[in-house]
Amino acid sequence: MEKLTYILGNELAEAFAEAGYDPAGVVVKVSDRPDLCEFQSSAAMPLAKTAHKAPLAIAEDVKAACDRMGRSFEIEAVRPGFLNMTVKPEFLADYIARMAKDSKCGIPEAEEAKKIIVDYGGPNVAKPLHVGHLRAAVIGESIKRILRAVGHDVLGDVHLGDWGLQIGLIIAELRVRNPELPYFDENADTYPEEAPFTISELEEIYPFASAKSKTDEAFREEALKATSELQSGRKGYRALWQKIMEISTRDLKKNYERLDVHFDLWKGESDVQEYIPGLIADLEERGIAKTDQGALIVDVSEEGDKKEVPPCIIRKSDGAALYATTDIATIYERMKLYHPDKIVYVVDKRQAMHFVQVFRTVRKAGITDEGTELVHVGFGTMNGKDGKPFKTRDGGVMRLESLLNEIEEGMETKIRDNKNVREEDAKKTAEMVALSAVKYGDLSNQAAKDYVFDTEKFTSFEGNTGPYILYTIVRCKSILERAGISEEEALNYSFRTPSGEAEKALMLDLADFGPVVADAARELAPHRICAYIYRLSNSFNHFYHGTRILAEEDASQKNYYLALLALTEKVLLCGINLLGFSAPDHM
Ligand code: ARG
């Protein structure tokens, strides 16, 4: 569906032509002074020079042309030459009626559909997910959904950290604890089906081994050796690694499922190791990489860098590949397998320099195409109320599971107290509302900013929160339920010309949904969707409080109200789906 501003822009351009002015640059925007008008255009301003006329005189000519032609808007010429516009209610009602029939709720298609990979999640195998992984998952999932909504072909990749020292640490520690296991016997050639640990054992082993490696030099050496033997293909270690992967991914999947986060690709760092030797040799041969104090580096500094960009190290002096090498190899593989137009990384902003180095290296090496876009959406830190990175009460790293449990429990109590939900639905409802609280609390902030995770604020049913949005949706649902019709049926009723301010404001907000989603997709900015659905919820609630919907005696007027309500519900549901959560029927 075309944007409302696009239709208005075309009509206004016709009036410019009719008045004898060049219509080429005419655009209409939503007003930034809603107290004065709904839409505005400054298209008369730049024409003053060529027309040898004051901008205000041009604007007045255009207004006169509009009046002669009959337009979908009222228009005024104001000093120094702006055009202030207000849409005619019948035009707006007609637009809204078309939106109600549109399967995409007015979301426009991107000008060019692209193949995009979103790299988000980035959990590390055998380590539990902690709150630091929450933002990557929540923001990445939303960006993926938004990009899909405007028609791009998107793949989400979890990009597991499954190849580093953490695996070597686990192997070394298991060897101390269970030296009799066949994985350590170099003559063994079959290994048991069953893993030699459970997920909770695995999660206990990693931090234990990691702490030990910091004080016990010999153990650290063992872990490094195990890592390198694993990487060079020692059979027993590969088999053990398989088991670690199996147990750990099963647990990760369960956790992401709970967050309503879904990846199309479960690839990881290990998948691209096979390309590394060839890539390194090639970079060295072509003189792109050079040796510096035993290490192999790519100089990626550029003229005009405001901050020093250190060289990208792709091989350490001991021969080991690094985090950057793996990311370079991953881009290589992605180009080979999927040929994306764009790769979006949703990763902590503290890794910004890493991505600058990696992106510059692949460009220099011609691994990507001329037009391939590489974008790092760096997010800030989730802090506690003390302004320091979010921790448990005793100062430890907060596991994601514990955080969700805590919030769900609090929400369940609240929901049971409200008594709007059947006893047997309380738990499920609490899960949905809790997820909205966590996700909306995160997404409503610009991703790059640090934010304070304030449980009390985020879980409130009032204010700019997920539960408030859900509450508004539930209100719509329950009115339709009481009217005895479905959303679909209500959307088939006829829209009328809005008679009051609140109705018109609601319609204008509804009409803005498509443009907002388009902006969010272009800017990779879920917070825009949050700001929008909050605005829409407010204007709906304003309308609701001033209108007797079910008590309306005129049947067709009542049906029109129900249609407006159903469209609001539909748009809000579509909005929260883009953010990655859903709404209960009651709460
Ligand atoms: N596993 C990494 C970490 O925990 C994050 C990976 C981010 N993605 C990437 N392609 N580098 O820091």
Q: How far is CA 25 from the centre of its chain?
A: 33
Residue 65 has pLDDT above 90, yes or no: yes
Q: How far, CA to CA in Å, does 443 sit from each of 35, 137, 285?
A: 29, 11, 45
Tell me, what's the pLDDT at 354?
98
Q: How far, CA to CA in Å, does 258 sit from each of 7, 319, 390, 452?
A: 42, 41, 21, 23
Residue 425 has pLDDT above 80, yes or no: yes
Radius of gyration of the chain (CA): 29
Number of residues written out for the chain: 587
CA 121 to centroid of ligand 1, rounded, Å: 8
CA 347 to centroid of ligand 1, rounded, Å: 7
CA 387 to centroid of ligand 1, rounded, Å: 24
Return mean pLDDT, the chain: 95
Give the binding-site residues of ligand 1, using a 6 Å CB cut-off.
Answer: 119, 122, 124, 159, 161, 327, 345, 347
412, 254, 133, 324 alpha-carbon torsion, rounded to 10°: -170
Mean of the pLDDT values across residues 160-168?
A: 91
Mean of the pLDDT values across residues 298-303?
A: 96
Cβ neighbors of 185 (< 8 A, separation 6 or more) are 236
255-277 confidence digits (pLDDT tens): 999 999 999 999 999 999 999 99
Residue 145 has pLDDT above 90, yes or no: yes
Pocket test for ligand 1, best of 351, 356, 381, 400 (most atoms within 8 A of CB): 351
CA 355 to centroid of ligand 1, rounded, Å: 11
Residue 393 has pLDDT above 80, yes or no: no
Token pair, residue 559, equals: 């049906």
CA 354 to centroid of ligand 1, rounded, Å: 10
Token pair, residue 298, equals: 């790519």
Mean of the pLDDT values across residues 185-213?
A: 92
| Residue with CA closest to ligand 1 atom 3 | 122
- Rounded to an integer, what distance in angstroms lies between the CA atom of residue 513 and that of residue 525? 14
36-51 confidence digits (pLDDT tens): 999 999 999 999 999 9
Residue 333 has pLDDT above 90, yes or no: yes
CA 323 to centroid of ligand 1, rounded, Å: 9
Q: Which atom of ligand 1 is nearest to the CA of 132?
A: 4
- Rounded to an integer, what distance in angstroms lies between the CA atom of residue 526 and that of residue 348? 16
Residue 365 has pLDDT above 80, yes or no: yes
Cβ neighbors of 465 (< 8 A, separation 6 or more) are 436, 437, 440, 441, 457, 458, 459
Residue 373 has pLDDT above 80, yes or no: yes
Using pLDDT thresholds of 50, 70 and 90, give the confidence band for residue 1.
confident
Mean of the pLDDT values across residues 449-462?
A: 95
Tell me, what's the pLDDT at 34?
87
Share of residues in the chain with pLDDT > 90 (%): 91
Q: Which atom of ligand 1 is nearest to the CA of 160?
A: 1
Q: Note the pTM of the prediction, 2 decimals.
A: 0.95
CA 579 to centroid of ligand 1, rounded, Å: 22
Residue 314 has pLDDT above 80, yes or no: yes
Cβ neighbours of 293 (radius 10 Å)? 6
Pocket test for ligand 1, best of 118, 124, 166 (most atoms within 8 A of CB): 124
- Rounded to an integer, what distance in angstroms lies between the CA atom of residue 246 and that of residue 375? 31
Residue 245 has pLDDT above 90, yes or no: yes
Pocket test for ligand 1, best of 119, 272, 347 (most atoms within 8 A of CB): 347
SS (H, E, C) 233-267: CCHHHHHHHHHHHHHHHHHHHHHHHHCCCCCCECC
Tell me, what's the pLDDT at 321?
87
CA-based torsion, 211, 212, 215, 218: positive or negative? negative
CA 159 to centroid of ligand 1, rounded, Å: 7
- Rounded to an integer, what distance in angstroms lies between the CA atom of residue 255 and that of residue 234? 31
Q: How far, CA to CA in Å, does 79 sit from each of 26, 27, 40?
A: 18, 18, 13
Residue 132 has pLDDT above 90, yes or no: no
Longest dimension (CA), the chain: 94
Mean of the pLDDT values across residues 503-527?
A: 97
- Rounded to an integer, what distance in angstroms lies between the CA atom of residue 402 and that of residue 203? 14
Token pair, residue 208, equals: 């234990």
Mean of the pLDDT values across residues 380-402?
A: 86
CA 269 to centroid of ligand 1, rounded, Å: 9
Residue 126 has pLDDT above 90, yes or no: no
Residue 392 has pLDDT above 80, yes or no: no
Tell me, what's the pLDDT at 342?
98
CA 80 to centroid of ligand 1, rounded, Å: 52
Residue 328 has pLDDT above 90, yes or no: yes
How far separated are the first and last CA of the chain, in Å rounded?
34
70-118 confidence digits (pLDDT tens): 999 999 999 999 999 999 999 999 999 999 999 899 999 999 999 999 9
| Residue with CA closest to ligand 1 atom 11 | 327
Query: Helices 131-149 and 400-418 meet at what angle, rounded to 10?
Result: 70
Pocket test for ligand 1, best of 125, 127, 143, 159 (most atoms within 8 A of CB): 159
Q: What's phi and psi for 213, nearest 5 deg?
A: -65, -20
Cβ neighbours of 24 (radius 10 Å)? 9
| Residue with CA closest to ligand 1 atom 7 | 122
Using pLDDT thresholds of 50, 70 and 90, give the confidence band for residue 399.
confident
- Rounded to an integer, what distance in angstroms lies between the CA atom of residue 342 and that of residue 522? 12
Residue with token string 């301010």: 501
Q: How far, CA to CA in Å, does 206 sit from each of 56, 201, 339?
A: 72, 9, 36
- Rounded to an integer, what distance in angstroms lies between the CA atom of residue 30 and that of residue 38? 6
For residues 14 and 24, is the Cβ–Cβ distance under 8 A? no
Tell me, what's the pLDDT at 449?
96
